[in-house]
């Protein structure tokens, strides 16, 4: 394992790509093109970033991003840079400034996107990674095989704690494994965190006492660090088995302030991901971005879903999910449980399973459960049956012949 940090980028530039790559390396380390006093060859060798590889790709006549240098052709390339670990140590917040700092603004680029990261082993010692991950989540949720069938409280906002608890009762009776707050619901005056936790956990604990099944509920505790720690402790004291946090709302240091403290699975919500990723030649690929949060302790990570209601392609969704399942280090794989959601119903499990190769995921549906013509219990059953069929290698239509909930769902949700 190298003791250097490596990052892969997709670039687009009107200048010689090799020179552009050298500009990136200089800007993000000890400088290259504007010599200043003290910038000796020894210092460059010790602290400078290096261009590890450069692979030219296609070229285009018009720049993907404006404002930079003008040219006639804009060449795309894949570039890998590396940095000595000694520049920053195994430090995630400062890794951000190194691999994803000023360089996106450089005038030499009409496109620059961070694709992937490879980190020295020292990061595995400095950060815990997911404390629960797939195994710990399955244990707490009492689901040994198959996906956790989940849902989201809807309407997203507007329900008070008692309304929320009542809906949780309905969902628990329907056989759900997992429920999450919407990311818009945190600790507003209309539905304060502690009141919501108390009301919901009363229902979940009573249901568990009666049936032996404890539904996992991810309470959105997003807030300041001291608030998140206090909310975590409160949820834990009420018997909660999961908390949720909006990653882009709290940031890496905010998240670490929670995860260092946490004794519950951390359900990591990626809302805001669009502004980081939707321009094809700018920002972050999920593989790079998610590695930061995996190391920092995210137990569940959202990857959208196939045929979703958003703009993301199925190929991108599957690439994201697969990237989560790639070990970060041999002895510290840091693998979170992928969360599929957005417009999911009994229709998508076969294809999801075919790509994923297993069912180690949270599979969340809103309308796909609540809008089942025979109600939420049938909605949950239909999703579970769709997954059972996929895992057994049986076409859903065949399995539906002996499973009426699935049959009704396939018809109701057909597009």
Residue 205 interacts with a copy of itself (CB under 8 A)? no
**363-402: contacts with a copy of itself (CB under 8 A):** 366-367, 370-371
Which residue, 86 or 398, is less far from a copy of itself as judged by CB? 86
32-51 residues in contact with a copy of itself (CB under 8 A) are: 34, 36-39, 43-44, 46-48
Nearest residue (CB) to a copy of itself, 210 versus 415: 415
Rounded CA-CA distance 308/343 in Å is 5
Sign of CA dihedral 129, 131, 132, 136: positive
Q: Is 87 in the site for a copy of itself (CB under 8 A)?
A: yes
Q: Give the list of residues 6+ apart from residue 330 with CB closer than 8 angstroms, or none.
A: none
Options 9, 74, 273, 353; binder of a copy of itself; rule CB under 8 A:
273
Interface pick for a copy of itself out of 105, 125, 145, 398 (rule CB under 8 A): 105
Q: How far is the CB of 91 from a copy of itself (least distance, A)?
A: 7
How many CB atoms are located within 10 Å of the residue 206 CB? Answer: 12
If the CB atoms of residues 103 and 410 are measured against a copy of itself, the closer one turns out to be 103
By DSSP bridging, strand 266-269 and strand 216-220 are unpaired
Closest distance between a copy of itself and the C-beta of residue 232, in Å? 13
Residues between 243 and 262 with contacts to a copy of itself, criterion CB under 8 A: 246, 248-257, 260
Which position has the token pair 């490596």?
A: 6
Find the Cα–Cα–Cα–Cα dihedral 125, 229, 339, 294, rounded to 10°: -20
Distance between CA 20 and CA 187 in Å, rounded?
A: 47
The binder of a copy of itself chosen from 5, 20, 25, 106 (CB under 8 A): 106
Return the half-sphere exposure (C-beta side, CA atoms, 13 A cut-off) of residue 261.
Answer: 18
Instruction: Return the residues of window 63-82 that contact a copy of itself according to CB under 8 A.
Output: 65-68
CB 176: neighbour CB atoms within 10 A?
Answer: 26
Binders of a copy of itself in range 142-161 (CB under 8 A): 154-159
112 binds a copy of itself (CB under 8 A): yes
Residue closer to a copy of itself, measured from CB, 1 or 107: 107
Q: How many CA atoms lie within 13 A of 135 on its CB side?
A: 5
Indicate which single residue of 125, 310, 373, 394 sits in contact with a copy of itself (rule: CB under 8 A). Answer: 310
- In a 3-state reduction of DSSP, which class is residue 116? strand
**Distance between CA atoms of residues 251 and 264, nearest Å:** 19
Which member of 1, 18, 57, 184 binds a copy of itself (CB under 8 A)? 184
Q: Among 181-189, 210-218, 352-360, 379-387, which window interacts with a copy of itself (CB under 8 A)?
A: 181-189
SS (HEC) of 173-227: HCCCCEEECCCCCCCCCCCCHHHHHHHHHHHHHHHHHHHCCCCEEEEECCCCHHH
Judged by CB under 8 A, the stretch of 140-148, 270-278, 355-363, 397-405 that binds a copy of itself is: 270-278
Q: Which one of residues 274, 307, 329, 355 is an interface residue with a copy of itself (CB under 8 A)?
A: 274
* DSSP state letters, 128-156: ---SSHHHHHHHHHT--SSPEEEEE-SSS
Which CB, 66 or 210, lies closer to a copy of itself? 66
């Amino acid at each position: 394992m190298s003791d250097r940090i490596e990052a892969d980028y997709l670039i687009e530039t009107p200048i010689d790509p090799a020179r552009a790559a050298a500009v990136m390396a200089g800007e993000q380390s000890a400088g290259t093109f504007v010599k200043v006093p003290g910038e000796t060859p020894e210092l460059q060798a010790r602290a400078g970033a290096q261009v590890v590889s450069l692979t030219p790709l296609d070229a285009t006549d018009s720049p993907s991003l404006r404002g930079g240098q003008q040219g006639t052709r804009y060449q795309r390339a894949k570039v890998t840079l590396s940095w000595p670990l000694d520049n920053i140590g195994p430090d995630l917040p400062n890794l951000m400034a190194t691999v994803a700092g000023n360089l996106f603004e450089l005038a030499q680029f009409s496109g620059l996107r961070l694709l992937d990261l490879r980190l020295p082993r020292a990061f595995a010692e400095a950060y815990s990674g997911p404390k629960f991950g797939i195994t710990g989540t399955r244990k707490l949720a009492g689901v040994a095989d198959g996906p956790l069938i989940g849902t989201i409280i809807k309407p997203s906002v507007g329900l008070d704690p008692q309304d929320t608890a009542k809906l949780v009762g309905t969902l628990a009776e329907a056989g759900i494994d997992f429920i999450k707050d919407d990311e818009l619901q945190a600790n507003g005056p209309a539905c304060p965190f502690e009141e919501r936790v108390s009301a919901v956990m009363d229902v979940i604990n009573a249901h568990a006492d009666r049936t032996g099944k404890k539904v996992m509920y991810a309470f959105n505790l997003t807030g300041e660090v001291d608030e998140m720690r206090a909310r975590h402790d409160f949820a834990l004291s009420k018997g909660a088995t999961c908390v949720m946090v909006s990653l882009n709302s709290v940031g890496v240091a905010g998240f670490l302030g929670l995860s260092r403290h946490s004794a519950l699975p951390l359900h990591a919500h990626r809302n805001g991901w669009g502004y980081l990723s939707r321009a094809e030649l700018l920002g972050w690929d999920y593989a790079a971005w998610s590695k930061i949060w995996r190391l920092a302790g995210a137990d569940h990570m959202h990857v959208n879903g196939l045929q979703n209601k958003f703009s993301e392609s199925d190929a991108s969704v599957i690439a994201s999910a697969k990237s989560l399942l790639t070990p970060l280090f041999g002895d510290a794989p840091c693998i979170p449980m992928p969360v599929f959601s957005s417009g999911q119903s009994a229709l998508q499990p076969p294809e999801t399973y075919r790509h994923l190769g297993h069912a180690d995921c949270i599979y969340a549906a809103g309308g796909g459960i609540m809008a089942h013509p025979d109600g939420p219990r049938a909605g949950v059953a239909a999703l579970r049956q769709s997954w059972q069929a996929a895992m057994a290698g049986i076409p859903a239509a065949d399995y539906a012949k002996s499973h009426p909930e699935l049959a009704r769902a396939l018809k109701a949700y057909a597009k």
